[in-house]
C-alpha cells in the first residue's frame, strides 16, 4: 500500500512538473499538449534531421505506451522515403532520428501516441523551401 501511494504521488508530481520547451512549436491532441522541434532548426530538402517531441498530459496523468512520429505531403499524397527511429529520452520526451524531406513543399508532421489504451493524434504543418 505504501509503495502504491508513493508511486501515485510520484506520477502526479511528474505530470504537474511537465513543461513544454519554450522554443518548440506547439500542437495538441485530445488529452495532450505537445511540443515539436527539429535539429537542426532549419530543415533542408535532401538532408537528414531529427525531431524532438515533448508530451504533457492536459489533466490527469497517463502512461504513454507508444509514440510515433512521421511526416507526409498531403497535397502530393506521399510520405518520406525513410522510416524514423524513435528513442525515449525520459518520461514524456522523445527523439526521432532519420527524417529526410526529399523535396521542398508543404509537409505535415504526424504524432501518434497511445496512452492508457487510448489512441491520440496531432499534426503540425510546415513549409520547406
**What's the pLDDT at 60?**
79
Domain count of the fold of the chain: 1
Which domain CATH number covers 123?
2.60.40.1930
pTM of the model: 0.82
**What's the pLDDT at 9?**
34
The whole domain housing 34 covers 2-128
Taking CA 65 as the corner, what is the angle to CA 110 and CA 52, rounded to the nearest 5 degrees? 45
Q: Which residue shows C-alpha cell 532520428?
A: 97
The C-alpha atoms of residue 9 and residue 80 are separated, in whole angstroms, by: 42
| Tens-binned pLDDT, residue by residue, of the chain (129 aa) | 443 333 333 344 344 568 999 999 999 999 999 999 999 999 999 999 999 999 999 987 778 999 999 999 998 888 898 899 999 999 999 999 999 999 999 999 999 999 999 999 999 999 999
The C-alpha atoms of residue 127 and residue 58 are separated, in whole angstroms, by: 28
Amino acid at each position: 500500500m505504501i509503495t502504491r501511494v508513493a508511486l501515485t504521488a510520484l506520477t502526479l508530481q511528474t505530470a504537474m512538473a511537465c513543461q513544454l520547451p519554450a522554443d518548440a512549436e506547439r500542437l495538441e491532441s485530445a488529452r495532450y499538449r505537445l511540443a515539436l522541434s527539429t535539429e537542426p532548426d532549419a530543415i533542408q530538402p535532401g538532408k537528414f534531421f531529427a525531431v524532438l517531441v515533448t508530451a504533457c498530459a492536459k489533466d490527469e496523468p497517463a502512461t504513454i505506451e507508444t509514440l510515433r512520429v512521421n511526416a507526409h505531403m498531403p497535397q502530393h499524397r506521399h510520405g518520406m522515403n525513410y522510416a524514423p527511429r524513435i528513442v525515449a529520452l525520459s518520461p514524456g520526451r522523445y527523439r526521432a532520428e532519420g527524417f529526410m524531406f526529399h523535396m521542398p513543399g508543404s509537409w505535415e508532421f504526424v504524432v501518434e501516441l497511445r496512452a492508457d489504451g487510448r489512441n491520440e493524434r496531432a499534426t503540425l504543418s510546415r513549409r520547406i523551401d
